[in-house]
Amino acid sequence: MKALRYYGARDVRHEDMDDPTPQSDRDAVIKVEACSICGSDLHIYHGHGFSEDVGFCVGHEAVGEVVEVGRAVHRLKVGDKVMIPAAVGCGACRSCLAGNVACCEYNLGSCYGLSAKLQGSQAEAVRVPAADFNAVAVPEGVSMEQALMLTDAMATAWYGARQADIRPGSSVAVIGLGPIGLMAVDSAFVLGAHVVYAIDPIPERRALAEASGAIALHPDEALERIKQDTKGHKLDCVVEVVGSDATVDFALRLVRRRGTVSVIGVQQSRRFPFPLERAFAAGLTFRAGTCSVPEELPALFPLIQGGRLKPERYISHRLPLSEGAEAYRLFEAREAGALKMVLRPD
């Protein structure tokens, strides 16, 4: 099969690779219909990978059709259309069955496309371990492109907004308006936010947030504008979607006393100087971490089916898998309005 393989910084190649095969009776093989590039894939693309491996297939967002199942797979059959959430779990312990793969009690939690241990999904096909749990049938009323957004980006955005304690009447800021940030803006409104400030230096991305009803601000003007609008009290909730020291610190400066900061940007710093004294004095709630997609899907499916959330509108490019290297380049450079890059096997 053809796949996108990582060989080093900014070196992703469309190459031949062995076809995936089941490694246990609980596995399934999925023929990929579409896959997409996540912002966190750029960490690997920049050479800051999660392993020393090279030559492995990248990517962790995909949808497709079941083409092979092991003897112990009971919920799926050949021909089923499925989505493949970014992270996997054992599918048998209490934590996984509750949707929290990050706390897999058998330490089998993992993510596609970080190393050769679990090959990625930017390919013509992908092996799914514990497939009855780690592959999710696409429900009626959800398109394949919507399902693709649910495999990570939309679920992460919803998780970030939920972790920010957004309630009806809340005032909110979202820092960083990539695809997940824009979806977090939409999520905040669905959760009942009274006002959402959307903060990003790129005018085109601010315009998209404005179209969703947000007050879009350049980072240089945001703090003073928010202080002015709130008479110095600042905001109830802040969602940080960038992952740099500067933006996390900025989030902490935008939140009011007893407010909540939710950080979902993948961290680029190993040692963030957290202002504990200031946070303690203000009684802040601070949450950070990655989303467990299965935990968020029960709430998201009806919101997608009912048209309350439309994450597919942030797909900016649809390209063949063979143009994956160019898709990565565009996404990194933010050229041509690049937001969500969807790739389809040729």
| CB 251, CB 259: distance < 8 Å | no
d(C-alpha 145, C-alpha 135), whole Å: 16
Give me the residue label for tokens 């085109």. Answer: 204
DSSP conformation class of 118: B
Strand arrangement of the beta sheet that strand 215-217 belongs to: 215-217, 195-199, 171-175, 235-240, 255-263, 285-288
User: Could you give the CA distance from residue 209 to residue 202 in angstroms, rounded to a whole number?
Assistant: 11
Q: How far apart are CA 287 and CA 260, in angstroms?
A: 8
pLDDT of res. 278: 84
CB-neighbour burial class of residue 228 (10 A; exposed 0-12, middle 13-18, buried 19+) = exposed
Q: CATH 3.40.50.720: which residues of the chain?
A: 154-288
CATH of domain 154-288: 3.40.50.720
CATH fit for domain 2-152+292-344, picks 3.90.180.10, 3.40.50.2300, 3.30.720.210, 3.90.470.10: 3.90.180.10
**pTM > 0.85: yes or no:** yes
Instruction: Determine contact, residues 38/62, Cβ cutoff 8 Å.
Output: no
For residue 269, pLDDT over 70 is answered with no
Burial class from Cβ neighbours inside 10 Å (0-12, 13-18, 19+) for residue 237 reads buried
Q: How confident is the model over 121-173, as pLDDT tens digits?
A: 999 999 999 999 999 999 999 999 999 999 999 999 999 999 999 999 999 99
Instruction: Tell me the pLDDT tens digit for each residue of 192-236.
Output: 999 999 999 999 999 999 999 999 999 999 999 999 999 999 999
Partners of residue 344 on adjacent β-strands: 320
